[in-house]
């Protein structure tokens, strides 16, 4: 769960959210939403990324593994570097078909 404050009055879904309102974002609920990720949202299903029915719903606003902006996760760059090392090691040592 993370919190942010909006910088201006905003109407979202017909509701007025006044300026400086604290907004709580439940990332675990967002990342397991069946409306976004389909019926297998609570399961590890890497094949979901191959289905355009689900990937068309993915935006920068509903997939936030490291958050965004000035207060994003400090481990973001470390995780990306680790992934690049892992991927290059796999490509160097194995033959994929």
**What pLDDT digit, counting tens, does each position of 11-21 carry?**
988 999 999 99
Annotated binding residues, written as ranges, equal: 73
Cα distances (Å, whole numbers) of residue 26 to 6, 23, 89: 16, 10, 35
Annotated binding residues for heme, written as ranges, equal: 73
Domain total in the chain: 1
Distance CA 97, CA 71 (A): 41
Distance CA 30, CA 62 (A): 6
pTM score, whole prediction: 0.62
Expressed as residue numbers, the domain containing 78 is 2-93
In three-state secondary structure terms, 79 is helix
Checking if the pLDDT of 39 tops 90, the result is no
Q: What is the pLDDT of residues 57-97, one digit of tens each?
A: 888 788 888 887 788 888 999 999 999 999 999 999 999 88
Average confidence score pLDDT of the chain: 89
User: Environment class of residue 37 by beta-carbon count within 10 Å: exposed (0-12), middle (13-18) or buried (19+)?
Assistant: buried
């Amino acid at each position: 769960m993370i919190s942010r404050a909006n910088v201006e009055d905003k109407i979202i879904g017909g509701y007025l959210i006044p300026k400086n309102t604290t907004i709580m974002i439940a990332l675990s609920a967002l990342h397991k939403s069946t409306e976004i990720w389909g019926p297998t949202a609570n399961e590890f299903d890497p094949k979901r990324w191959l289905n355009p029915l689900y990937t068309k719903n993915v935006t920068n606003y509903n997939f936030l593994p490291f958050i965004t902006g000035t207060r994003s996760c400090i481990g973001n760059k470390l995780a990306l570097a680790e992934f690049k090392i892992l991927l290059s090691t796999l490509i160097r040592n194995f033959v994929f078909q």
